Amino acid sequence: MNDRKIINIIGRGNVGFHLKKAFEGKADVIEVNPHTLSELNPEADLTLISVTDSAIQEVLARLPELKGTVAHTSGSTPIEIFKSYRCQNFGVFYPLQTFSKSKALDYAEIPFYIEASDPYTREKLFQYALLISENVRYADSSQRKRLHIAAVFACNFVNHLWALSDSYLKEGGLNFKDLIPLISETVDKIKVIPPSEAQTGPAVRGDLKMIENHILELGSKDKLITIYRLLSQSILENRK
Amino acid sequence: MNDRKIINIIGRGNVGFHLKKAFEGKADVIEVNPHTLSELNPEADLTLISVTDSAIQEVLARLPELKGTVAHTSGSTPIEIFKSYRCQNFGVFYPLQTFSKSKALDYAEIPFYIEASDPYTREKLFQYALLISENVRYADSSQRKRLHIAAVFACNFVNHLWALSDSYLKEGGLNFKDLIPLISETVDKIKVIPPSEAQTGPAVRGDLKMIENHILELGSKDKLITIYRLLSQSILENRK
């Protein structure tokens, strides 16, 4: 890949926005809205579809003839979505990260997962991802779905537990910000040891007395109690 | 507090170890094991009891006559534990952090929560904490218990969700380490915006189709399904 590549990006959402920035200086990027597909460069080496999952099918249906590879960037859309369309070389170009326009990111460390219609396209997509990231892997649609579900547990649900802590603390005149050093330390630990070994707290100690004391203290907060019981039980079961 | 303080620390566990380090160069520290209380300096300005919660009562019962303030460092032990003992000035000196001996910490940013028998002791404990941290607050026993429960949700349960993701990924030939950039980004967000506003994922978007798809994909993993349903439901209810 000595010659400069041309890349179409369909979609100006968070992912499209960041992919454009990530390719800056490394490829010529044409960014188009899903409703102005006529602006796409038909000679582009790569066309990335970065629209919401439910809009991918419709974009594919309206896609003009394109010479290069077409790939979507969705974690949860199987590669089969391409089957009924006229694309010859297609695939998936999935960055495992959460994107927001206001927040800069170090693209080099974002893992990219590649899947493709054929070995040739697979290698091409791999090389395009290497323009951005040092962390490129292959993953089939089933693995990608697994990654997505794992990310829901590891990020979406984790964030929700923080939201619950936040309102519970607020109610007691306390400040969630005071938990940040503790949260940072908890994250730092799993960068060096597996989370199952980093587990602390009453449940992993088998301290049933403290668990019951906490549940009593939660009083009539039924939702917090249900979550407390379920996750404590799960930690207890996971002990070696 | 111009003169150099003398501080006894009872307990050589993780908390005692780090409190000793934190006071280094700022006070003269005498560190003793719970079974060698005769080594305590009776003239010390402050005696900190950093033993496991269940051992505090026994240490108090065997405590020699001490001139200065006596405080325990436990988040979940009420100040009432001192009531039946002969200490005159007592209190709580609680650092909200998770400690392990192998991991260095920036003590200045650890929040310390102070509670005391009387206003004079309260102010003294506050000043001792300021020797270590820039982040000292007052909290009564009920607030301290609330902090502890919030920390269970925000750290212990969060870590467990990471452990569950880890084994789920492993089973699919995938690597939990690939989630670290995403997890770091999730933490970075809540340093600047409240977690309820930082929420992403299918549940907060009301994407019931994806939720059902994920649950289907989880197959016979009943525990993961129960947790997935419960936390998704809780996120759905929290939407504005």
CB contact under 8 A, B103 and A190: no
Cβ-defined contact of B163 to A194 (cutoff 8 Å)? yes
How far does B41 lie from chain A, in Å, by closest CA? 32
- For the segment B228-232, the average pLDDT, to the nearest whole number, is 98
- pLDDT reported for residue A2: 55
Read off the pLDDT of each residue in A19-28 and give the average, rounded to a whole number: 96
Q: Do A148 and B214 touch (CB under 8 A)?
A: yes
Chain B residues whose CB is inside 8 A of the A165 CB are 150-151, 153-154, 195
Q: Does residue A1 carry a pLDDT above 70? A: no
Q: Please tell me which residue of chain B has the smallest CA distance to A98.
A: B182
Compare all CA atoms of chain B with the CA of A231 and give the residue at the minimum distance.
B157
Strands lying side by side in the sheet with B5-10: B27-32, B5-10, B46-49, B69-72, B90-95, B112-116, B136-138
Residue B2 has pLDDT above 60, yes or no: no
pLDDT at A148 over 70: yes
Cβ distance of B109 and A201 shorter than 8 Å: no
The lowest-confidence range among A22-31, A114-123, A145-154, B100-109 is: B100-109
What's the rounded mean pLDDT across residues B14-42?
96
ipTM: 0.90
* Phi then psi dihedrals of residue A136, to 5 deg: -110, 135
Task: Kindly report, residue by residue over B174-221, the tens digit of the pLDDT.
Answer: 999 999 999 999 999 999 999 999 999 999 999 999 999 999 999 999
Residues of B in contact with A110 (CB under 8 A): 181
With beta carbons under 8 A apart, name residues in chain B contacting A183: 154-155, 158, 187, 190
Name the residue facing B231 among A145, A157, A214 (closest C-beta).
Answer: A157
pLDDT tens digits for A207-226? Answer: 999 999 999 999 999 999 99
Cβ contact, residue pair A185, B103, below 8 Å: yes
Cβ–Cβ of A186/B97 closer than 8 Å?
no
- Torsion, CA A53, CA A103, CA A145, CA A5, rounded to 10: 70
Q: Confidence band (pLDDT; 50, 70, 90) for B235?
A: very high
* Ranges of each domain in chain A: 5-139, 144-238
Q: Count CA within 13 A, CB hemisphere, residue A63.
A: 29
Contact yes or no for B218 and A147 at CB 8 A: no
Each residue of A89-110: pLDDT tens digit?
Answer: 999 999 999 888 888 899 999 9
Interacting residues of B62 by C-beta distance below 8 A, sequence separation 6+: B37
Residue A214 and residue A227 in contact, taking contact as beta carbons nearer than 8 Å = no
Put simply, the answer to whether B227 touches A164 (Cβ < 8 Å) is no
| CATH classification (class only), A5-139 | alpha beta
Under a CB-based contact definition with an 8 Å cutoff, are residues B137 and A145 in contact?
no
Superfamily of domain B144-238: ProC-like, C-terminal domain (1.10.1040.20)
Mean model confidence pLDDT for chain B: 94
The reported pLDDT for the residue numbered A224 is 98
What pLDDT score was predicted for residue A98?
86
Q: Would the pLDDT of B144 be above 80?
A: yes
Q: For residue A161, give the nearest of B153, B181, B228 by CB distance.
A: B153
Q: What is residue B88's predicted lDDT score, i.e. its pLDDT?
A: 82
The helix or strand, by DSSP H or E, that contains position A188, with its residue range, turns out to be helix A180-192
3 state SS of A113: strand
| Angstroms from B71 CA to nearest CA on chain A | 21
